[in-house]
Amino acid sequence: MIKVGVIGASGYLGAELLRLLSRHPQMEVSMLQAHSNTNITVGELYPGLDAFYKGLTIADFDPNSVGNLDLLFVSLPAGHSADVMDILVAKVPLVVDLGADFRLKDIALYEKWYHFEHKNPLLLSKSVYGLPEFYRSQIKNAALISSPGCYVTAASLAVKPFVDAKIIDEKDCVVVDGASGTSGAGRKATDVTHHSLVNENFTAYGLLDHRHTPEMEQVIGRQIIFTPHLLPMTRGILVTCYVKTNRKVTTGDLLSLQRDYYDNEPFVDVIDGIPSTKDCYGSNMARITSRYDERTGYMVMLAAIDNLTKGGAGQALQSANIALGIEESMGLTQIGMIP
Question: Mind telling me the catalytic residues?
Answer: 150
Q: How many CB atoms lie within 10 A of CB 133?
A: 19
Pairwise CA distance, residues 52 & 73, whole Å: 19
On whether the CB atoms of residues 219 and 230 are closer than 8 A, the answer is no
B/e letters for 110-131, b = 16+ CB within 10 Å, e = fewer, are beebbeeebebeebbeebbbbb
Cα 257-326-316 angle, rounded to 5 deg: 65
DSSP 191: T
At 256, which amino acid appears? S
Pairwise CA distance, residues 224 & 214, whole Å: 8
Residue 200 Rama label (left phi>0; alpha psi -120 to 50; beta):
left
Q: Which helix (H) or strand (E) segment is 60 a member of? A: strand 57-60
On whether the CB atoms of residues 316 and 144 are closer than 8 A, the answer is no
B/e letters for 235-267, b = 16+ CB within 10 Å, e = fewer, are bbbbbbbbbebeeebebebbbebbeebbeeebb
